[in-house]
Structure 1
Amino acid sequence: MAASVDVVEFQLGEEHYALDIQIAREIVEMMPITPLPRAPRYLAGIINLRGEITNIIDLRNLLGLPESDGMEGQKIVVLMPDAAGGSNIGIIVDDVHSVIQVREEDIERINEGITSSISSYVKGIIKIGCEGDEKAKTLIIWLDVQKVINDLGNYQNAP
């Protein structure tokens, strides 16, 4: 039996991304976010999620993607506290599609030499779609969201 991995497939703009299912605690509908003064640009603000203050990160801004046009249907993926260094953190995504099970052979690993600045945040490229028809396959960028969150301290101190 081939090894497989479960991921949450989500969307930012037109692109599809995935994160490990183990680090996602829950997915909630977008709600009003309270901005924090003098916060880094990637920190959208905070929300009160059932009595817990949760930091909300604008993943699009953090990854250097173009701003969204306030898309309808945005969601917040709340991460497991241990995946976020013990903090309550949620990330804004444009849409959540599904939880998918991906076979190892459908994952293309990223070579270190190609794009070294992002390769540390990308676990691989997931190819899903029509069997045998390579052109009909959808490509999903499998992010190491835990590493992105853990490196926020370095990001904040960058010029």
Structure 2
Amino acid sequence: MAASVDVVEFQLGEEHYALDIQIAREIVEMMPITPLPRAPEYLAGIINLRGEITNIIDLRDLLGLPASAEAENRKIVVLMPDVASGSNVGIIVDDVHSVISIHNEQIERINDGITSSISGYVKAIIKIGDEEDEKTKTLIIWLDIQKVISDLGYYQNAP
């Protein structure tokens, strides 16, 4: 039996993305976010999540993706504290689909020849769907959220 790994599949705009399940603490419904003055554009603000102040990052802004008119199913994926040096952090996504198990043959590593501002944060591309029919395959961009957060530098100096 081939080795498999579980990821959380989510959506930003029309595109499907994934993150490692072990870094996701929980998924909560969108709630009012208190903006912080002079915060970076990607920092939507803070929420009080069961008595803990949690920083909320708009993943779309952080990755430089266009704004989406669809806000109906937006969710907050709360990350494990060790992802952000012990800080409570959540990321806003347009929708969360499911937890999926992927096998090694479904994973396509990105080669170094592809360059964009986001490629350093892409672990791999996941191919889901019918093996015989290429047209029915869905491509999911597997993000290295831990690297995205650590590269912000914001949490490097957190108390």
> What stretches of structure 2 of length at least 5 have no aligned partner?
155-159
TM superposition score normalised by structure 1: 0.94
Q: Which residue of structure 2 aligns with residue 130 of structure 1?
A: 130
Letter of the aligned partner of 2:83 in structure 1? Answer: A
CA distance in 2, matches of 1:120, 1:8: 20
CA distance in 2, matches of 1:67, 1:46: 20
Q: Deviating runs (4+, > 2 A) in structure 1? A: 116-119
Per the alignment, in what secondary structure is the counterpart of residue 82 of structure 2? helix
Describe the superposition over 1:2-42 as per-residue Cα deviations: whole angstroms up to 9, x where unpaired. Answer: 11110000000000000000000000000000000000000
CA distance in 2, matches of 1:69, 1:104: 35
Letter of the aligned partner of 1:68 in structure 2? Answer: S
CA distance in 2, matches of 1:138, 1:131: 11
Q: Which residue of structure 2 aligns with residue 157 of structure 1?
A: none
Q: How does 1:80-91 map to 2 (within 5 A)?
A: 80-91=80-91
CA contact (8 A) 1:54 1:90 kept: yes
Q: Which residue of structure 2 aligns with residue 53 of structure 1?
A: 53
| Cα distance, 1:116 vs structure 2 | 5.3
CA distance in 2, matches of 1:15, 1:102: 18
Identity between Structure 1 and Structure 2 (%): 84
Q: How does 1:61-100 map to 2 (within 5 A)?
A: 61-100=61-100
Describe the superposition over 1:92-124 as per-residue Cα deviations: whole angstroms up to 9, x where unpaired. Answer: 000000000000110100011211532220000
CA contact (8 A) 2:63 2:118 kept: no
CA contact (8 A) 1:111 1:119 kept: no
CA distance in 2, matches of 1:127, 1:70: 25
Q: Which residue of structure 2 aligns with residue 147 of structure 1?
A: 147
Q: Which residue of structure 1 aligns with residue 13 of structure 2?
A: 13
> What stretches of structure 1 of length at least 5 have no aligned partner?
155-159
Per the alignment, in what secondary structure is the counterpart of residue 148 of structure 2? helix
Against the structure 1 CA distance between its residues 14 and 48, is the aligned structure 2 distance closer, same or farther, given a 3 Å change threshold?
A: same
Letter of the aligned partner of 1:60 in structure 2? Answer: R
Q: Which residue of structure 1 aligns with residue 115 of structure 2?
A: 115
Describe the superposition over 1:25-64 as per-residue Cα deviations: whole angstroms up to 9, x where unpaired. Answer: 0000000000000000000000000000000000000000
CA distance in 1, matches of 2:143, 2:64: 14
